[in-house]
Amino acid sequence: MTRTLHITIGTRPDRSDLADTLGAIDADEAVEPNPSRLCIESLATFGRIFRPTNLELLEAIVEHEPESIRELARLVERHPPEVTENVHELADYGLIELEDEGRAKRPTVWYDEFEFSGDVPLRGLDPDSDTPVAP
């Protein structure tokens, strides 16, 4: 079974059925799992999170399953402080998890693929900030 992370840009996920789902859980009823979702607030943030250096880190984590951030830095041939900063950003957005392995943090990825959706306006955006520009 493929584990997919559904990613949208600039929209909030529909939570209209949240009350029903919580009620079913409280009543010990079976609940259908919802797909995992990540909402990115702006196109600029999306570009920062999914820049090539971060995608390289995600790929290295999946392919090599490093035991620590330091090992990950060696795999991608980058300085550990830079990789640590990028790894924490990915973890802050839920794209990776950091598991305690003694004194080290082991980066892990729980999904197999991304699915992107959402509307991206081509007019009215300041390309540096994603703030709408007055016409």
Phi, psi of 81 (to 5 degrees): -60, -35
Predicted TM-score (pTM) of the model is 0.72
Phi-psi region of 92 (alpha: psi -120 to 50; beta: other; left: phi over 0): alpha
Spatial contact of 62 and 97, defined as CB atoms under 8 Å apart = no
The count of residues in the chain is: 135
Domains of the chain with CATH codes: 4-117 (1.10.10.10)
Of 66, 10, 3, 73, nearest in space to 38 by CA: 10
pLDDT attached to residue 67: 96
Pairing between β-strand 104-108 and β-strand 97-101 as defined by DSSP bridges: antiparallel
Chunked in runs of 10, what are the mean pLDDT values of the chain (135 residues)?
A: 82 59 72 70 87 96 96 97 96 91 91 81 54 43
**Amino acid occupying residue 135:** P
pLDDT attached to residue 10: 73
For residues 26, 32, 38, 39, the Cα torsion angle rounded to the nearest 10 degrees is -80
pLDDT attached to residue 48: 92
